[in-house]
């Protein structure tokens, strides 16, 4: 069983460019930190201009693996800077048991 972890935040439309830039810059510290964690399968950082939202979706081998993000220093440090830029994180961050998957190009 894999686990899908979803973290959502909202922001005002006028903050889009600042939040987008922060997400791009976050790669520098987050990619190596996340890759070093046990059980990492995939991580997606996404932004929705129209609805003023950003989402991080990650896939992990187990719930314990997913919960490593709760205390990942690089993630915690960045959260504060996103809050200062106007992001409002939804809590709790949810961890979902995977029931089925679909992969491929959709053909």
Note the pTM of the prediction, 2 decimals: 0.92
Contact 75, 103 (CB under 8 A): no
Distance CA(26)–CA(45), nearest Å, equals 10
* Domain spans in the chain, listed from the N-terminal domain onward: 3-96
Q: At what angle do helices 16-35 and 73-84 cross, to 10 degrees?
A: 180
pLDDT band at residue 103 using 50, 70 and 90 as cut-offs: confident
Tell me the pairing of strands 94-97 and 3-10: antiparallel
| pLDDT tens sequence across 10-39 | 999 999 999 999 999 999 999 999 999 999
- The CATH code belonging to domain 3-96 is 3.30.70.100
pLDDT (0 to 100) of residue 1: 84
pLDDT digits (tens, 9 = 90+) for 26-72: 999 999 999 999 999 999 999 999 999 999 999 999 999 999 999 99
Between CA 39 and CA 35 the distance in angstroms is 9
Q: What is the DSSP letter of 49?
A: T
């Amino acid at each position: 069983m894999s686990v899908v972890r979803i973290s959502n935040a909202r922001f005002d439309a006028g903050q889009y460019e600042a939040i987008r830039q922060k997400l791009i810059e976050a790669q520098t510290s987050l990619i190596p930190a996340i890759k070093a964690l046990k059980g990492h399968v995939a991580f997606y950082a996404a932004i929705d201009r129209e609805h003023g939202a950003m989402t991080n979706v990650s896939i992990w081998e187990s719930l314990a693996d997913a919960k490593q993000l709760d205390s990942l220093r690089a993630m915690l440090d960045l959260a504060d800077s996103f809050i200062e830029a106007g992001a409002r994180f939804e809590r709790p961050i949810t961890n979902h048991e995977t029931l089925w998957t679909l992969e491929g190009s959709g053909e």
